[in-house]
C-alpha cells in the first residue's frame, strides 16, 4: 500500500504536459477561428462581385465579334462567393452593337425569369419570351405581354486589349422598376 503523502505530491512533468496540451488545444481553436473569420471576411468582400472587388466583370468578346444592330447571344459563367461556398451558374446576355458602342441586356425576362430569344420576323423582329408571350424591341423596350418593364440592361466596359466586359447582375422580377438583387 502506498504512502498517502506521496500521492499528494504533484508531479511536475505531468503538470507541464497538461499545460502544454491545454496550450496546444487553445492554439488550435484560435487558429481555426482565425481562419474562419478570415475566410468569412474575404467571402464577404467577394460576395457581390465574384472577381476583382469592383463588380462581376466577365469578358464577352471584342467589338468586331458583334454585328451592327443585330442582337448576339453570349453565354457566360457567373461565379459568386458566399462565405465558404462558391456558386457557379450559366447565364446568357444579349449584345446589340451600335457603331463603337454596345447595349447589353440580360436574357432573363423581367416578368418571371424565363430566357428571352431574338426572333427575326418580317413584320417586327423582337426579343420574345415563350413563357407568357412578352416581347421587346431591339432597344429592350416592352412591346406587349405579361412583363411590367423592358429588358434589363447591364453595364459594360472595354479593356485596353479591346475585350468587352459586362458587369453581370440580377434584378427583381415582376415589378415595373429595375431593382438590383444583392
Ligand atoms: S416569364 Fe417572360 S413573360 Fe412571363
Write out pLDDT tens, residues 113-158.
999 999 998 888 999 999 999 999 999 999 999 999 999 999 999 9
Q: Which residue's CA is the nearest one to ligand 1's atom 1? A: 112
Of 87 and 24, the one with more pLDDT? 87
Domain that residue 22 falls in: 4-47
User: What's the chain's Rg over C-alpha atoms?
Assistant: 29
pLDDT of res. 48:
36
Residue ending a domain, choose from 28, 47, 66: 47
Q: Which residue's CA is the nearest one to ligand 1's atom 3? A: 132
Statement to judge: residues 41 and 62 lie in one domain: no
The answer, yes or no, to whether residue 34 has pLDDT greater than 60, is no
Which cell is 4 given? 498517502
Statement to judge: residues 33 and 107 lie in one domain: no
Statement to judge: residues 72 and 41 lie in one domain: no
In the block, which residue shows the cell 486589349? 161
Q: Is 147 in the pocket of ligand 1 (CB under 6 A)?
A: yes
Give the whole-angstrom CA distance, residue 43 versus residue 178: 27
Q: How far is the CA of 115 from the centre of ligand 1 (A)?
A: 8
Yes or no: say if 117 and 128 are a contact pair by the CB < 8 Å rule. Answer: yes
The answer, yes or no, to whether residue 41 has pLDDT greater than 60, is no
24 within domain boundaries = yes
Range scoring the smallest mean pLDDT among 21-25, 63-67, 127-131, 165-169? 21-25
Q: How many CB atoms lie within 10 A of CB 115?
A: 16
140 within domain boundaries = yes
Q: How far is the CA of 59 from the centre of ligand 1 (A)?
A: 27
Strand partners, 156: 166
Give the whole-angstrom CA distance, residue 180 versus residue 175: 11
SS3 assignment, position 102: strand
Closest atom of ligand 1 to CA, residue 133: 3
179 within domain boundaries = no
If one counts the domains in the chain, the total is 2
Statement to judge: residues 75 and 162 lie in one domain: yes
173 within domain boundaries = no
Q: Is 149 in the pocket of ligand 1 (CB under 6 A)?
A: no
107 within domain boundaries = yes
Statement to judge: residues 91 and 14 lie in one domain: no
Which cell is 164 given? 468587352
Amino acid at each position: 500500500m502506498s504512502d498517502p503523502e506521496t500521492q499528494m505530491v504533484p508531479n511536475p512533468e505531468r503538470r507541464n504536459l497538461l499545460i502544454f496540451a491545454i496550450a496546444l488545444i487553445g492554439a488550435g481553436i484560435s487558429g481555426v477561428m482565425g481562419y474562419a473569420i478570415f475566410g468569412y471576411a474575404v467571402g464577404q468582400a467577394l460576395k457581390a462581385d465574384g472577381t476583382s472587388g469592383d463588380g462581376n466583370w466577365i469578358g464577352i468578346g471584342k467589338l468586331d465579334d458583334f454585328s451592327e444592330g443585330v442582337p448576339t447571344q453570349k453565354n457566360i459563367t457567373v461565379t459568386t462567393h458566399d462565405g465558404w461556398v462558391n456558386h457557379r451558374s450559366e447565364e446568357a446576355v444579349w449584345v446589340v452593337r451600335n457603331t463603337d458602342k454596345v447595349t447589353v441586356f440580360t436574357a432573363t425576362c423581367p416578368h418571371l425569369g424565363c430566357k428571352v430569344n431574338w426572333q427575326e420576323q418580317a413584320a417586327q423582329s423582337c426579343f420574345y419570351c415563350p413563357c407568357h408571350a412578352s416581347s421587346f424591341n431591339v432597344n429592350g423596350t416592352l412591346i406587349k405581354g405579361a412583363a411590367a418593364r423592358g429588358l434589363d440592361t447591364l453595364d459594360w466596359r472595354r479593356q485596353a486589349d479591346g475585350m468587352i466586359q459586362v458587369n453581370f447582375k440580377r434584378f427583381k422580377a415582376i415589378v415595373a422598376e429595375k431593382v438590383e438583387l444583392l
